[in-house]
Amino acid sequence: MLCYNPRPQRFGERSGMSHARTTASNTPSSEASASQRSAAPEPVVGDGFENPVLAFSRLVALQRTAGNQVVQRMLRGAGATPVLRGRSPAVQRHDGPTVLSPEGEDKGKAKAAEKTPEAKKMEEVRAILDKSPVGKAALAILEKYKVPVDLKYPGPGSVYQPPAPGKIKILTTKTAEQAAFTLVHEANHAEASNQSKTADISKLGRAEYVKGMLDEETTSTVNAILSKTGMSAADQKGVKSAPLLQARYEKAKKAALDAKKSAEEAEKAAWQSIRDAFTDGTLVTSNTKEAYDVYYGKAWDKVHKPPAKEAL
C-alpha cells in the first residue's frame, strides 16, 4: 500500500596496452676486447612506459674501461632499441592486458562491475516509465531534485521520506512493474515537498491540513494510473500489472462520459472517485491500517496539543 509519511524521519583505464618492451643497452663494439666489457647498463624506467637510459655511474665506469669513442657510439645508437642480452624482459603493469593476462581479463574487477539486482530492477522501472509522458515526468522529478530510490525497503508499505530532497522507499517485494507505478505516486510527494507545496502540519488548521494531504495522496494515485493509461495500446498490453485503483478511475470516467459530460468533467469525476477511496474505507494506511483522513488527523493532533476542536 502507498503511504506518505508526514513526519521527518532520522537521517542516509588506462589503455589495454601492456607496454611489455625489452629493456636493453648496446653491446660494446669489436674495438673493445671481451675482458674490457662491463656489465650492461641499468635502464631507468619513465612514467607509464620504459625508456632505457644509461645510468650516470654506469656511463663513467664504461667510459673508463671501453673508452670515450665506444660510449659515444652507444649513446648515438640508443634510439634503435637494441636488445639486452642475458636479462629477462621487464613488463610494465597496467590495468589492461599484460603477459599474464593477454585478453585483459580481470575477474575481480569484472565481478565488482556486475550490476546488483536492485540496479537491474531500476533499469526495468525506468524502461516502463519511459513509455508514457507521466512516467517520464516522474523520472524527471527524481533527476531534478536528486531524490534517491531504495528498492529494498522492508516496509511496511512504500513511502516518500522527507525532508527535501528526501528519499523514496519502495517495498522490496514489489515487481518492477508495481515498483514503477509506486515510484510515480511517491514522485509526486517528492515534488510537493521540494516545492514546499505539501500541507504544513505546523501552520495549518486540522481540517485544512487533512484536506491538503488527502488531495496530494489523490493526485499521486491518479498520476500512477495515468502513467499506465498514457502508454500506447501495445505498451499497455506488454505491462501486465495495473496501478492501484485503475479500474475504479476508468469506471468513474466512463460513467461521466456516458452521461454526456465533457472530457474535463469526466477527468474531474474520476479524480473525485479516487479521492473518496481515501475516506470511505477502500484504502487504509499500510502502517496503522486506518482510513487516511483518520491517520492525518491523528498526525495533526500529535503536533498540536491539546488538539483543536475543529471539524474535518
How far is Cα of residue 49 from the mean position of the Cα atoms in its chain? 36
Q: Which amino acid is at 307?
A: P
pLDDT of 308: 58
Q: Output the pLDDT for position 114.
A: 78
Answer whether the bond into residue 163 is a cis peptide, omega within 30°.
yes
What is the pLDDT at residue 57?
Answer: 55
If phi over 0 gives left and psi between -120 and 50 gives alpha, with beta otherwise, what is residue 67?
Answer: left
Largest CA distance in the chain: 113
Where the chain has pLDDT below 70, the residues are 1-113, 306-312
Q: Output the DSSP codes for 211-273.
A: HHHHHHHHHHHHHHHHHHHTS-HHHHHH-----TTHHHHHHHHHHHHHTT--HHHHHHHHHHH
The pLDDT mean for the chain works out to 78
- Using an 8 Å Cβ cutoff, are 55 and 133 in contact? no
Nearest to 173, CA basis, from 117, 236, 218? 117
Q: CA-based angle 214:217:221, to the nearest 5? A: 140
> Are the C-beta atoms of 44 and 53 separated by less than 8 Å?
yes
Q: Domain residues of the chain, as ranges?
A: 117-303
Q: Can you say how many angstroms the Cα of residue 80 is from the centroid of all Cα atoms in its chain?
A: 51
List of residues 6+ apart from 291 with CB closer than 8 A:
278, 279, 280, 281, 283, 284
Query: What per-residue confidence (pLDDT) applies to 305?
Result: 79
Please write the tens of the pLDDT for every residue from 169-223: 999 999 999 999 999 999 999 999 999 999 999 999 999 999 999 999 999 999 9
